[in-house]
Amino acid sequence: MAVAADGRASDGSDKIRMNPSATHTQEAGQRRALITGITGQDGSFLAEFLIHRGYQVHGIVRRASTFNTERLDGIYADPHNQGVKLSLHYGDITDGAGLRRILEQTAPDEIYNLAAQSHVRVSFDQAEYTADAVATGTLRLLEAVRDYISSGRKLRMYQAGSSEMFGAAPPPQNENTPFYPRSPYAVSKVAAHWYAVNYREAYGLHLSNGLLFNHESPRRGETFVTRKITRALTRIKLGLQENLYLGNLEARRDWGFAGDYVEAMWLMLQQPEPDDYVIATGESHSVREFLDVAASHCGLDWRKHVKTDPRYFRPTEVDVLCGDASKARKRFGWTPKVSFSDLVKMMVENDLELAEQERTLTRAGHVVQRGASQR
């Protein structure tokens, strides 16, 4: 039994497909990919990208009391159909035995390790858990992979590193820039990076670290600043909320489009030799500039609505990130396709539509559920 994108099995129960045989729906010669963090922004884009290229995709999903597979809705297919391309498996990056089992069952050609507690501000509140998931989680997966390849089986791995690892190092940042992490999240990503390098050197693993700068989309989590802004401004435009509470507006980030960035992950694994690559646009904008562009698309003056809330400031901030991705361009021709202004426009247009749906429901007397996280 395969699983619906909302985590429901097609028999109407809420079970995710467990213990599938590796070749359940596989065609001869078809490549298999395993994605940790498949339910996240990048995981969903990557799964689509790989399915489009003919891969059989397996993804690890955490058990949650609510459905957490919404981003996969577009690629879900009824598991009773022939040739289903997506299979989901319950697992957790903090559970090594489960990871090993999934690895054996799915026998992937490529693994993409995207699972993470990925929120920088939250990592100051949940430092130990962040280290367990981001740093030790990567180590758990590497240990499983090490044993897996020791019997001669082949596998390539992508490790999701981050521009946050550069932290306070001055821009432009490239593969030779020394790391200077400024949060428990960033420190954990640096540890994961060096675990990955060590396993590559010690066991001959084909493993590439992506050093990806911020990348966004209409699927971005709503507590990251870009999506928080586009969700709020579009709701303000339609009269659904009055104010938007933010922290530091002067921080500068190199923001690209997530769809472009997952292609770079895949390209890294197609290279004859593993290596580490910065993936970035080479342009840096402040949060204030993001507000300017988003508000102009909405026809709003954001200064009338944006208030400061100290809880959104970080104990240590990363002031300026601006990446130099020339190595990736030279080695495998990667360049970003979506510009900053098109990215903001894409997010505003998506969120305007969501706000219109909310307004229609609200006017019809329905209560719209938006979650209670500290946005």
Binding residues for ligand NAP, rule: CB under 6 A, are 36-37, 39-43, 60, 62, 64, 68, 92-94, 114-118, 133, 160, 162, 212, 214-215, 221
How many CA atoms are closer than 13 Å to the CA of 227, on its beta-carbon side?
17
Per the residue annotation, which of 76, 112, 158, 185 is the catalytic one?
185
CB of 348 to ligand F7E, least distance (A): 16
Note the Cα 352 to chain centre separation in Å: 23
Distance of CA 13 to the CA centre of its chain: 28
Contact 247, 308 (CB under 8 A): yes
Longest dimension (CA), the chain: 63
The answer to whether the peptide bond before residue 172 is cis (omega within 30 degrees of 0) is yes
Token pair listed for 208:
């590439």
Query: Quick one: what does residue 314 bind among ligand NAP, ligand F7E, none, with the CB cut-off 5 to 8 Å set by partner type?
Result: ligand F7E
Partner from ligand F7E, ligand NAP, none binding residue 114, C-beta < 5-8 Å depending on class: ligand NAP
Interface residue with ligand F7E, options 110, 164, 324, 358 (CB under 6 A): 164
| Catalytic residue check, 44 | no
Q: Which is nearer to ligand NAP, 64 or 361 (CB)?
A: 64
Does residue 288 bind ligand F7E (CB under 6 A)? no
Query: Helices in the chain by DSSP H: which ranges?
Result: 41-52, 96-106, 120-125, 127-130, 137-149, 184-203, 225-237, 258-270, 287-298, 326-332, 340-363
Q: Is residue 162 among the annotated active site residues?
A: yes
84: tokens are: 């289903």
**What are the helix and strand counts (H, E) for the chain?**
11, 13
Kindly tell me which of 196 and 298 has the beta carbon lying closer to ligand NAP. Answer: 196
Site for ligand F7E (CB under 6 A): which residue of 94, 248, 271, 296? 248
Q: Which does 285 bind (CB under 5 to 8 A by kind): ligand F7E, ligand NAP, none?
A: none
**103-131 b/e (C-beta count within 10 Å ≥ 16 → b):** bebbbbbbbbbbbbbbbbbbbeeebeebb
Cα–Cα distance, 68 to 61 (Å, whole number): 8
Q: Is 214 in the site for ligand F7E (CB under 6 A)?
A: yes
Of 44, 118, 123, 162, the catalytic one is 162
Catalytic residue among 164, 217, 277, 284: 164
296 assigned to active site? no
Residue 236 or 282 with smaller CB distance to ligand NAP: 282
Q: What is the CA radius of gyration of the chain?
A: 21
Any contact of residue 89 with ligand F7E (CB under 6 A)? no
Per-residue binding string, ligand F7E, 303-342, x by CB under 6 A, is: ---------x-x--x-------------------------
Residues catalogued as catalytic: 162, 164, 185
Binding site for ligand F7E (CB under 6 A): 118, 120-121, 162-164, 213-214, 223-226, 228, 246-248, 251, 253, 287, 312, 314, 317
